[in-house]
């Protein structure tokens, strides 16, 4: 049976005025001793003062209790919130009983994955039916479903002697979904595509510039000199630039590792949160470049799979999947990626976002992806281990620390060597910090399209 939230314990606390009022009561015994009053007179004075204190505090407690129990609090939030972006929500407080001027302080209870930038809000209720509102700044941290229910209330009269504190619940609770922290800025994505694909000049194709020759045009200042056709320019009186037919409808499959290694924290977020941010940004970028994009999430088994497709509706479904995936408790099985890629008929850029902390993981990657390079274009985006890098950069203060730092340095060197070995075998690799995943993945995506690798 659920407890009624309005019957929560009302804890009375004394204000400075209330403490001063109680301290005045100590004067009566001292006054009786100083004036040599009879004991019965001193007891009578103390009793009268005690009755006055009980009446005063009791009346205030009843008023505040009625006010707090009749509060109506509303919190207005959008249905979807992008992670790492501060949002201004609205908190409304309505008084449904007649009372004196009451000062309220609201503090929302901590919620996993959400940070209240301004956790404490102050309100002033004047009379019955008063509706006051204030903005509440919220900064979502982690993806997934979030419910805000509990909050603490402190109330006191404007010149009161008591403060009443209790915990209440929003009825009903406020639910929202925190999506990956991809800004989805179409203009920025378009500028990035123009920068990487057409060499900082205005190019009228949103898709990748292809390898099939289309036509020639006269050179304009600022254009990329690599596109100048020197042989034909030598036969004419001006520089001529080659134009190519745009390539579109290329295929990109994003595979995200959801194993236990992706539950490593960087600050308040997980590796998987940063991986989902980078994947969401790549989904939107590929959609704007008219490419087909799909998604695979896995640990020791396949968690979700969306085949490559186009369209805004399909991109929205991929973002929903990226919002819901969570890290598991098992090691990653990269054979799942190889099996899914083997079923793809057309050549596809296979983007694998994972965390490799030892050489064994790189060997497992190599065994799974080597046979895919003939048909597809594998791209491994490995998240660097920040603890190892931090150990490697610290000075040794003792022999034991020197051994630890040497082991960290050896492990980092081994990882980089094996990743470079993957690159020599035709598997594209990128090794970077979790905070740099989004920009690193976008840069490699456009570089591969520009180089005609896909």
CATH number at residue 267: 3.40.50.410
Average pLDDT over residues 199-217: 51
Looking at 163, 179, 195, which one is the last position of a domain?
A: 179
Using DSSP bridges, classify how beta strands 131-140 and 87-95 pair: parallel, antiparallel or unpaired.
antiparallel
Q: Which residues contact 256 (CB under 8 A, 6 or more apart)?
A: 272, 275, 276, 279, 295, 296, 297, 298, 322, 325, 353, 354
Choose the most confident range, by mean pLDDT, from 17-31, 182-196, 321-335.
321-335
pLDDT of 318 over the 90 cut:
yes
Average pLDDT over residues 108-114: 82
358 pLDDT tier (thresholds 50, 70, 90): low
Q: What torsion, rounded to 10 degrees, do the Cα atoms 220, 222, 223, 228 define? A: 70
Task: Output 134 or 205, whichever has higher pLDDT.
Answer: 134
Q: Which of 16-20, 243-247, 341-345 has the lowest mean pLDDT?
A: 243-247
- Name the H helices within 226-302: 230-235, 271-288
Q: Which residues contact 285 (CB under 8 A, 6 or more apart)?
A: 189, 192, 193, 442, 445
pLDDT of 1 over the 50 cut:
no
Q: Which domain holds residue 429?
A: 251-450
In terms of domains, do 174 and 274 share one? no
Mean pLDDT of the chain: 80
In a domain, 132, yes or no: yes
Is the CB of residue 268 less than 8 Å from the CB of residue 278? no
In a domain, 422, yes or no: yes
Looking at 162, 179, 196, which one is the last position of a domain?
A: 179
In terms of domains, do 22 and 163 share one? yes
In terms of domains, do 433 and 289 share one? yes
pLDDT of 287 over the 50 cut:
yes
SS3 75: strand
What is the pLDDT, as a whole number, of residue 198? 46
In terms of domains, do 219 and 352 share one? no
Task: Output 428 or 207, whichever has higher pLDDT.
Answer: 428
In terms of domains, do 315 and 170 share one? no
In terms of domains, do 156 and 241 share one? no
Average pLDDT over residues 55-65: 86
Is the CB of residue 295 less than 8 Å from the CB of residue 302? no
pLDDT of 200 over the 50 cut:
no
208 pLDDT tier (thresholds 50, 70, 90): very low
Average pLDDT over residues 63-89: 85
**Rounded to 5 degrees, what angle do the CA atoms 182, 354, 264 make?**
80
Q: Which of 133-142, 337-346, 444-453 has the lowest mean pLDDT?
A: 444-453
What is the pLDDT, as a whole number, of residue 105? 86
What is the pLDDT, as a whole number, of residue 183? 52
In terms of domains, do 256 and 281 share one? yes
Is the CB of residue 431 less than 8 Å from the CB of residue 175? no
In terms of domains, do 123 and 96 share one? yes
In a domain, 190, yes or no: no
pLDDT of 197 over the 80 cut:
no
Choose the most confident range, by mean pLDDT, from 211-220, 307-316, 381-390, 431-440.
307-316
SS3 10: coil
Number of domains composing the chain: 3
Neighbours of 380 (CB within 10 A): 24
What is the pLDDT, as a whole number, of residue 374? 82
In terms of domains, do 325 and 375 share one? yes
In terms of domains, do 169 and 61 share one? yes
In a domain, 184, yes or no: no
What is the pLDDT, as a whole number, of residue 201? 38
What is the pLDDT, as a whole number, of residue 238? 85
In a domain, 120, yes or no: yes
In a domain, 20, yes or no: yes
Q: Which of 95, 65, 254, 248 is nearest to 164 (CA)?
A: 65
In a domain, 199, yes or no: no
What is the pLDDT, as a whole number, of residue 7? 47
- Run of H or E including 121: strand 120-125
Q: Which residues contact 263 (CB under 8 A, 6 or more apart)?
A: 270, 271, 272, 327
Average pLDDT over residues 53-79: 85
In terms of domains, do 415 and 295 share one? yes
Residue 418 vs residues 104, 357, 362, 366, 425: alpha-carbon distances, Å: 61, 12, 7, 9, 11
What is the pLDDT, as a whole number, of residue 5? 43
pLDDT of 308 over the 60 cut:
yes
In terms of domains, do 142 and 72 share one? yes
CA 433, CA 389: separation in Å to the nearest integer? 10
What is the pLDDT, as a whole number, of residue 129? 66
In a domain, 267, yes or no: yes
252 pLDDT tier (thresholds 50, 70, 90): very high
Rounded to two decimals, what is the model's pTM?
0.75
Choose the most confident range, by mean pLDDT, from 194-203, 254-263, 349-358, 432-441.
254-263
The 3-state DSSP composition of the chain as helix, strand, coil percent (nearest 5) reads: 40, 30, 30
């Amino acid at each position: 049976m659920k407890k009624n939230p309005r019957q929560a314990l009302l804890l009375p606390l004394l204000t400075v005025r209330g403490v001063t009022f109680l301290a005045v009561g100590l004067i009566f015994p001292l006054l009786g001793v100083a004036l040599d009053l009879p004991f019965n007179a001193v007891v009578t004075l103390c009793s009268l003062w005690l009755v006055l204190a009980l009446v005063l505090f009791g009346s205030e407690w009843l008023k505040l209790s009625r006010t707090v129990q009749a509060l109506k609090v509303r919190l207005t939030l959008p249905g979807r919130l992008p992670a790492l972006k501060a949002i201004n929500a609205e908190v409304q407080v309505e008084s449904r009983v007649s009372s004196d001027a009451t000062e309220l302080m609201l503090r929302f209870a901590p919620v996993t994955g959400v940070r209240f930038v301004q956790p404490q809000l102050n309100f002033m209720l004047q009379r019955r039916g008063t509706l006051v509102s204030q903005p509440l700044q919220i900064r979502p941290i982690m993806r997934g479903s979030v419910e805000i229910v509990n909050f603490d209330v402190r109330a006191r009269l404007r010149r009161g002697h008591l403060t009443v504190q209790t915990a209440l619940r929003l009825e009903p609770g406020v639910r929202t979904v925190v999506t990956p922290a991809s800004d989805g800025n179409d203009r920025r994505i378009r500028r990035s595509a123009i920068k990487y694909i057409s060499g900082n000049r205005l190019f009228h194709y949103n898709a990748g510039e292809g390898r099939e020759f289309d036509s020639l045009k006269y050179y304009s200042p600022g254009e990329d000199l690599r596109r100048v056709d020197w042989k034909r320019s030598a036969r004419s009186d001006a520089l001529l630039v080659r134009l190519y037919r745009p390539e579109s409808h290329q295929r990109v499959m994003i595979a995200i590792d959801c194993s236990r290694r992706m539950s490593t924290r960087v600050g308040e977020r997980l590796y998987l949160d940063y991986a989902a941010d980078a994947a969401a940004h790549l989904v939107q970028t590929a959609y704007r470049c008219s490419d087909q994009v799909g998604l695979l999430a896995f640990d020791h088994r396949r968690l979700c799979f969306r085949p490559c497709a186009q369209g805004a509706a399909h991109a929205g479904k991929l973002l929903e999947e990226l919002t819901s995936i969570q890290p598991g408790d098992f090691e990653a099985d990269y054979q799942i990626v190889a099996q899914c890629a083997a079923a793809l008929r057309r050549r596809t850029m296979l983007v694998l976002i994972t965390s490799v902390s030892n050489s064994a993981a790189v060997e497992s990657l190599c065994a799974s992806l080597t046979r895919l390079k003939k048909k597809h274009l594998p791209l491994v985006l490995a998240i660097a281990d920040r603890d190892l890098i931090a150990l490697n950069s610290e000075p040794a203060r003792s022999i034991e620390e020197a051994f630890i730092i040497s082991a960290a340095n050896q492990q980092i060197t081994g990882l980089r060597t094996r990743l470079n070995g993957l690159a020599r075998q035709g598997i594209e690799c990128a090794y970077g910090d979790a905070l740099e995943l989004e920009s690193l993945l976008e840069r490699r995506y456009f570089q591969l399209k520009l180089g005609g690798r896909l």
